[in-house]
Amino acid sequence: MNPDAFEQVYAELRRIAAAKLAGESPGHTLDATALVHEAWLKLAGASVAYSDRTHFVRVAATAMRRILVDHARAKAADKRGGGADRVPLGDLAAPDPDARLLALDGALTRLAASKPEHAAVLEMCHFGALTTAEAAAALGLSCSTATRMIRYAKARIRLDLEA
């Protein structure tokens, strides 16, 4: 890969990672640079021919989602054993962000089984930091259709998470 292409790809990955981590809790052990480097290792090792920018962003968003989920699973495993400190129930203020990410991943995976295009557009917007218009263009949809799909996907996921 030539140096100019590498810089453009790196900048795009960095933008996606920063946007994704902006919604995470403060003190997250992964920062945007670490997330980009892990995603880059996954993408560089894959034998995928990217057809265009949106295809690359879609694959990168999926890779970052998997990295964040794997990271959350590892942290949850550490909490179940190891040297985890006991916390009185009264000290718990909110659900663990990692547990929420794992639940979201499960709900998104279940949605993808029945409505793959709905899950794809939501994943591109949430994990890929694309706008609705960019995600719609990448999937060959109108903006209004993509907006409806996102609303539907969020509602289904919300119901799934509440169940």
Which residue, among 59, 58, 75, 85, has the nearest Cα to 24 in the 3D structure? Answer: 75
pTM to 2 decimals? 0.54
Summarize pLDDT for 92-149 with one digit per residue, the tens: 455 566 778 888 889 999 999 999 999 999 988 887 778 899 889 888 999 999 999 9
Quote the mean pLDDT of the chain.
79
Which residue, among 49, 72, 62, has the nearest Cα to 122 in the 3D structure? Answer: 62
pLDDT-based confidence at residue 26 (cuts at 50, 70, 90) = low
- Predicted confidence at residue 96, as pLDDT, reads 61
* CA dist., res. 67 & res. 85, Å (int): 25
Query: Taking the domains of the chain in order of start, what are their residue ranges?
Result: 3-162
- Predicted confidence at residue 157, as pLDDT, reads 92
- Predicted confidence at residue 81, as pLDDT, reads 56
